Amino acid sequence: MDRPCPIIFDLDGTLIDSAPDIHACVSAVLRQYQIAPLPLARVRSFIGGGVELLWTRIIAACGIEPVHRPALIAAFMARYHDATALTRLFPGVIEAVGRLADAGHPLGICTNKPMGPTRSVLQHFALDRLFPVVVGGDSLPQRKPDPAPLRLALQMLGVEGNAPRALYVGDSEFDANCAAAVPVPFLIYSGGYRMTPIADLPHHAAFDRFDDLPGLVDQAMAL
């Protein structure tokens, strides 16, 4: 590698499979309100835009009176802030991220997940030491696909400029459109929570296995 390249990662659906924990927290809150739970796949399809959008979608899907929204979100956050029991790293994540860190690439996280649960889950998997920069869904008024959170993460890693030399790695429509708006090249992980075909999303390259990520990074940097 000639020069290190800052690499920012999305979290839910990219590094971690957190949908089972998010689903469990949602189900517990719905049960509290005597509302029938939604299947895991349905809740998974609602993840990506952060907690506010998640609950907008749940409220619409379950036909809940919008007046309950603040109480539902508060009850959800009380469970979500340290929900890690059902969350797993995607296969090969630790090895791939470790290799990129060892190669000297500055690493960061830009997620729409709020900072509380983000910090909990990074600590739980001992990933906090690998990611000196973390921007969460409540770090700024804007969330992905707005480019502001990713621009902030890049700035915190010392990257400046209108089309910075950096990479974003994510799984969803929110990530693809955010990276295109910055703009930075986007590497999409196919195993996450995306609902749109990869071909319909702006991206530089796609990967199915984290073992392939370090090689893809080298290729992207050679451009």
* Active site members: 10
2 is known to lie in a ligand binding site:
no
Q: Which does 54 bind (CB under 5 to 8 A by kind): ligand PGA, Mg ion, none?
A: ligand PGA
Question: Amino acid letter at 64?
Answer: I
Q: What residue ranges in 10-161 does DSSP mark as E strands?
A: 16-17, 88-89, 107-110, 133-135
Q: Is 13 in the site for Mg ion (CB under 5 A)?
A: yes
Asked whether position 48 contacts ligand PGA by CB under 6 A, the answer is yes
Sign of the four-CA dihedral 82, 85, 86, 92: positive
Q: Give the Å distances, CA to CA, from 130 to 97, 101, 192.
A: 8, 7, 21
Would you count residue 136 as binding Mg ion (CB under 5 A)?
no
| Residue 10 binds to Mg ion (criterion: CB under 5 A) | yes
Measured distance CA(147)–CA(149) in Å, rounded: 6
- Residue 54 sits at the vertex; the CA angle it makes with 22 and 27, to the nearest 5 degrees, is 40
CB neighbour list of residue 190: distance below 8 Å, 6 or more residues apart: 171, 198, 206, 207, 208
Binder of ligand PGA out of 8, 24, 38, 47 (CB under 6 A): 47
Residues forming a β-bridge with 110:
135
CB of 109 to Mg ion, least distance (A): 11
11 in contact with ligand PGA (CB under 6 A)? yes
Scanning residues 83 to 142, which ones bind ligand PGA (CB under 6 A)?
111-113
211 annotated as a binding-site residue: no
Torsion of CA 29, 31, 34, 36, to 10 degrees: 110
User: How far apart are CB 91 and Mg ion at their closest, in Å?
Assistant: 17
145 sits near ligand PGA (criterion: CB under 6 A): no
Q: Does the protein bind Mg ion through residue 171 (CB under 5 A)? A: yes
Binding-site sequence positions: 10, 12, 171
Interface ranges with Mg ion (CB under 5 A): 10, 12-13, 171-172
Annotated binding site for Mg(2+): 10, 12, 171
- What is the contact surface with ligand PGA in residues (CB under 6 A)? 10-13, 47-50, 54, 111-113, 172
